[in-house]
Structure 1
Amino acid sequence: MSGTGTPTVAWELLDGGVKGVAKKFSQDRGRALVTAGGRAVVLAVADGHGSRAHFRSEMGARWAVETFTSCAQVYAREAVRRGEDAANLPRLLAEARTLPQQVVHAWRRRVLIQEANSPAHGGNTTASTTPSTASSGTAGSAAGTVPEPDPAVYGSTLIGVVLTERLLVCWQLGDGDIVLVDEDGTTRMPLHTGPDMGDETESLCESEAWRKARLHWQPLTGGGPPPGVLISTDGLSKSFADHEGFLAFASGVRSGAASHGVAAVQAQLADWLGHAAKYSGDDATLAGAFPAIGRGPARPGPDNDDTH
């Protein structure tokens, strides 16, 4: 399968984010784009931890989205090229399982470059070729006290999705939410693990963080359209009184897009997220994609360019 024909499914995208009430700036980042010649979508959201120990986490969240997007576009092109043949699915699954390690290594390289140029804890530090684990930044050396690169300063969660006509793959490290929404409004959360337990969460800054990433792998072979996908940082779901209210919101986003168009929903998204942020007090960021059957490629422009 070459994946070079005319797409039969177009993708309509949502993306937006707001900062939490009383926060100086948002620690979240998000992105939604069409890739692989219009045949695939890549979604990503990241939530920098934002506490005093993670005082550069907005940078970590930005790098999380950038590194995931870069790696996921390569994977998306392969999923489109090979995904029509069921014999290729085991190999695509194996590659999906290795993608978190690629992302973590790329993210840590960004940390090391930043630390080499502007150490978070002051002083001068030399970037090594091996990513460092989180440290207190007080290690000594024969030449004096030289801070070690401290990934914890940049700590962030990450949720990412690749969606094609034939395949849905979701990855999650840390908190946040993935909701799949069918045409009839039915919702499901493939990687939901239950209520949050306090503020502790998995993070990109942990040693071998890729081992804690969760994977949802779903070949789309039922003959119907792919599901809509919404991903969001936890500031959105925390604004609802209960889990059912959050799922009703997700279903309403899909029905609103069907009734009034995705552009109309996008125009209201900042207001909806701002309302949520008033209740949760946290940053709220959402990215989503809905299939639009038979409308041709979505969003012409730079985001469809596979070269970046």
Structure 2
Amino acid sequence: MTTPLLPALRAEARGAAHPTGIPCVCGGATLADRPDGTVVRHGDTVAKAHAPDTDRADLDRRLAVAALPALAGVLLPPLRPTATAVQDRLVTFWPHGTPVDPDHPEHAPWEAAAGLLARLHTTPGHRLPPGLPPMRGPEKAARALARLDASAPGHPAAAPVRRAWRSLPPWARGEVPYEHAHALCHGDLHLGQLVRHPADSGTWLLIDVDDLGIGDPAWDLARPAAWFACGLLSSDEWTRFLTAYQRAGGAKELSVDDPWPALDVPARALTVQTAALAVAKATEAGRPLDDVEEAVVDACARMAFVPPDLGNGHAK
């Protein structure tokens, strides 16, 4: 559905792609149009309107991280160093890259993703801009629960999701700061956050800096860990991912031999987040849960009574 923002965002993308104003035949496309992010493409330029409550100073610091020479080959660098105001939204500009093909999960670049995370997590603190905010992973999980409560309070699947949420420690629910945050983290790692740049022929890079910040490296590995625990990621893919992460010098506590003491709570939090969004979206669309969505809700039901201090208790 076309929103008032879209025409202005398309014009901004066209202007960024052709600053001299020369007419073109590039064509454009809307890549996403959600309340928390609208993304359009014009030729090789992508413009993203961030969520209405985005803090400009925090976003500009995150853009500065993406532009760091020390992170060349890890994060896709922005085309402009700071955000631009368009209507009431902050907009950033990026080169276009080729995303992971969702129709061919067997080609998912798990090893590449793991290597990028390891490099991100080991970025020296003195290379980062001052005042970099915390990673927003727990905050996103809390927002997912708020959406569940707003959209599907009476859904039968909502109760086990809420019970699983209450079983998490306060830091994983975004209620208190995490005392052991020490590394640069992406904050929202999934396969949709990877693109090849240059398009088609380039190497894989991480995109989307909205949740980038200082946090616990385990959170970045938690979504594939949750998929493995729910039976949605094979043992072979999970092992390849962890092995590649360690070979690239990732956090020592996330070892192939026994990563669960570090991963347990973040993986459970990401499972609850995924289930909450699944139930909310299904309710909003007026459809039943699909098999994958049922699997993450079932995982919430199994883990709802697991005490937060059982480090190696996961949902599988």
Query: What TM-score comes out, normalization by structure 1 length?
Result: 0.24
Higher-RCO chain (CA-CA 8 Å, sequence separation at least 6) = 1
Greater fraction of residues in helix: 2
Query: What TM-score comes out, normalization by structure 2 length?
Result: 0.23
